[in-house]
A and B are shown apart, each in its own frame.
Chain A
Amino acid sequence: MTDATHNTARSASITFGQFLPWLVSALFLLVMPLIFPSNAALTIMNQMAITIVFALAYNMLLGQGGMLSFGHAVYMGMGGFMAMHIMNWIEFHELPIPLPVLPLLAGLFALGLAMIIGSFSTRKAGTVFAMISLGVGELIAACSVIIVAFFGGEEGVSGDRTYGLPFFGIEFIRQIEVYYLTAAWLMISAVLMYLWSRTPLGRMANAVRDNPERAEFLGYSARWVRFYSFCASGFFAGIAGGLFAINYEIVTEENLNLAQSGMILLVTFLGGAGFFFGPIIGAILFTLLQTVLSLQTEIWQLYLGILFVATVMYFPGGLAGLLMMHTIPLRLGKLHLLFVPYLKMLGPALLCVAGFVGVFEIVFHIRNAAPGDTEMTLFWITFDSHDVLPLAVSIIAALAGFWLARRVVPELSAAWTAANTPDTERLI
């Protein structure tokens, strides 16, 4: 990249602007374990990191390539299985392969698989691609219980990451060591995937997503562009699988079944498929919901389902899209116009959500708790779930919140329009 030095001032500043978030992220990853040193926190953060890598890989398809896959867990899972087998082989044959390169090998294996599957599945985008991915996903998931030699049946394959051979004195016994390994791979993968999106192929993936036909008339075969994106996505998914194997030291059928594939679609879409950092938000949010919300309520999946459907219907850009909607007001320096309406909206919206949560939780408690056990705690208030009052309060809160929120809508949308239009008043 010798011509980098010849860049205009403008693109140089972009380069620094682009560099800064990565630096901050890296520092952030370094510091996190100092703030949350417990093993459980490290485990959760590892889980987040793995989900981020997987979601970013998935978004190379969905967001950047416009390909909807219902079976992408296959590549992560297969990478994980391979990593597990390699781990065991290394231990058995005492091969001099250090643990940190394992994700790379897993990625390469997934890449090989993606090349085979992609050779026929990427011929068409859209529904055909989605259906083939579904079919292949189901097939491999079904095989995983039949072909025990590779998949180990429903018990999966397990191994021991501490197979000797310390890597610069690190044996990966402690969780913190695994955390830094995972974090390092997260940074490497994320940077590579970001850079990928800046390459000619990455740009053409966007072009093919938007308008495959036009791309064809620019000299690019839409199919080959899709194929390369697909392979790259498979590779990074495989890396996520390798990291999974190192973290949990076990890989099972659940790593490649349809539920897992659906999960990553949900994560990516919730975060926002349209932006590079969308899946990162999605992965963090989802892992938190999964680990924290599921401790709080049994019906967390119901909330997740509602959240997902609402996102598809009202915020197809996901959370990232929601955030990025504010760049225009920010650029116009009019973000402050939105503060007051947002605050006004916040109260009723929270009231409405809390009301609905109350209704759901109370009804669920009445139906599922042990008889006689009528005491329940919600929002730090303990009350009798069979009493009419709490239910009535919840319903009223939900309806009132909804009604109040509706009343703020005109003001909010007016403010939104104002914040998005450049100043003209001064001219008058």
Chain B
Amino acid sequence: MKVVAQYLMVLTLSPLLLGVINRVKAFFGGRKGIPLFQLYRDLFKLLHKTPVYSRSTTWLFRAGPIVGLGAVLCALAIVPFSGRHSFLAFDGDLILMVYLLGLARFATVLAALDTGSSFEDMGASREVQFAVFAEPAFFLALAALARGTGQLSLSAMFAGLTPAVWQSAASVLALVTAALFIVFLAENSRVPVDDPNTHLELTMIHEVMALDHSGPDLAFILYGAALKLWALGALISCAVLPRHSASWFVDSGRFILMMFVLAAAVGVLESIIARLRFLKVPYLLFTAFSFSVLALMFQAAR
């Protein structure tokens, strides 16, 4: 029951993260900013619109958002909630999760390619490029956690992450968290990898791929992006919140709070640094990769 409640909570709360990010950014920009719940309204509005399809597209263009959303929904079933078991937890589930996110990416990219628009193709090209560098870093970060905790499922790993582990292996966990954070930014197309607020198609990654989508399709994409933000953010929150109390409510509250703190941190980050040049992004991801490798080395040396 709790598991279902957790899952529903994720489904309802994740669009709020984007609202938080935007409010924080507006605060730093000295603006009032859009309402916190704007995304909910947008989604609602979009679901009721009639889409417009390009003549060059096929069924794949329509299937892209569906698969993208479905895959992320499934991936979320694997992601732990406040260090507690999710309902699709098994040994090796992290592999399934990463590959499900890959499926979502693959579907989005193909849908973008279906339009035959150079801009969307360009975005798709960048999306796959960054994934190539981000995914090994992500995998190795999880491998470091697995070696540290001796567990092979995400839920068990984070459940096994106690304050004692943090005390004894703070350096490892800090490195892992840093790596995860970079991957989190890259995979969700946040600054410094991508700027969701830019208005020039040539410089975008994720947004540009959705240029042609409209109506419910666009709603699925936006919602899927919000869920993905939660999915990856949850891993970081779980990593930095090692303490588990007996009460599910306390834990959940703390965890959700942490998620918003994370969103706020992203907002702060986006306000104080600029987007990197595309050529530099691989270096950033390599940094994450080296953090993961370093974490593994420290872990091995312990």
Question: Are chains A and B native binding partners rather than an unrelated pairing?
Answer: no
